[in-house]
Amino acid sequence: MGVLRLLLAFAVLLSHLPPAKTKFVSGGLAVQGFFVVSGFYMALVLDGKYRDTRLFYSNRLLRLLPAYFVTMALAAVALFRLDLTATFTRDGFLAVYRHPATAVVLVLENALLVGQDLLYWFRLAPSGGFVFDPSGAMPTDTVVVAWQALLVPQSWSLSIELLFYAVAPALARSSTRALAGLALASVALRFAGHLLPVDYALWQGRLFPTSLFLFLFGMLAHRALPWAADRPRAVGWASAAALFTLIVVHPLLGLPNEAGRWLIYAAIAVAIPFIFSAFKNASIDRWLGELSYPIYLCHLLIVAAVLTVNPPFPVSCTIGAVLALSALLLVGVDRPVDRWRQARAARPTIAPGP
């Protein structure tokens, strides 16, 4: 599972790196693949060590927020001191925050995460304030989309993750039939976007209800774990090889966009119980997987620096710098916090009195 998460993180990195000639699955599709994996892992931990819902919530925040805040601080220094940004400009950023109507909302969004995905649905008016725009507008010299005022703009996916965490304990207690029914409702809502006056890519990619089925696919995959655990480890190895190959060669298949997406969704959901069973005790695989989150958080910061400096071998420089910064975040931030998280989870819980 660790290599799978690392590949998906690299897919996002390569999709955001213009000099890279080699691409894996698209960045947006890789993020949605992460949602399936997240659903599997949340069902796994809620079935085991997290019987206390409050402990689950607090530990999930501790998993996401420390590295995010450190990355946001680094991005702020890079932006305001060095004018390094891959998605906006320092002057544009300062101009947006001069308007009280937008500044308060955007400060809160940077700090709280929840709602960042909805910023893709709004443009910023020159006179201040937000303008609802469901057309999926892209930034131009005259159009500023609200997400551009985020210091870590790729963290929109963490907003959707947090919304899933909020309902995950209740979902984990639901029957398989209920999960499947809710997944079908989410899929139906997703396809309803074709009938609405909205940009379909925005509708299916930046909205929690239309993304919920991805997490549910992962939770349903977890229900198959006992059956997968009885299969030979070779099945897990073969599943991993097939899925990793698909992720790497996906752009070469020439599939229609929607068919290509559903192939990835289905392949991840089907493969992960077998992959987890085969590799759950592999420490190197776990370590590689732990790199995926810091890679996701910091890669745009490094991409901005490389595009500004334009060094020789920009792709190699970007990958090397991203791996170095990610390792520092992992060792200096994630690991210490994780030891605390695991210690909290290991404490016996005291049942409430009568």
Residue 139, pLDDT > 80, answer yes
Answer whether 0.85 is exceeded by the pTM: yes
Tokens of 34: 């992460």
Look at residue 346 in the predicted model and tell me its pLDDT.
72
Look at residue 347 in the predicted model and tell me its pLDDT.
67
* Nearest Cα residue to 2 out of 335, 285, 326, 295: 285
Q: Are strands 122-124 and 130-132 parallel, antiparallel or unpaired?
A: antiparallel
Q: At residue 146, what are phi and psi to the nearest 5 degrees?
A: -60, -35
Domain regions of the chain by residue span: 2-60+168-345
* Nearest Cα residue to 41 out of 219, 194, 182: 219
Q: Could you tell me where the beta strands, DSSP code E, fall in 8-87?
A: none
Angle, CA 291 vertex, CA 237 and CA 268 arms, to 5°: 40
Residue 100, pLDDT > 60, answer yes
Look at residue 351 in the predicted model and tell me its pLDDT.
40
Please report, rounded to a whole number, the percentage of residues in the chain having pLDDT higher than 70.
97
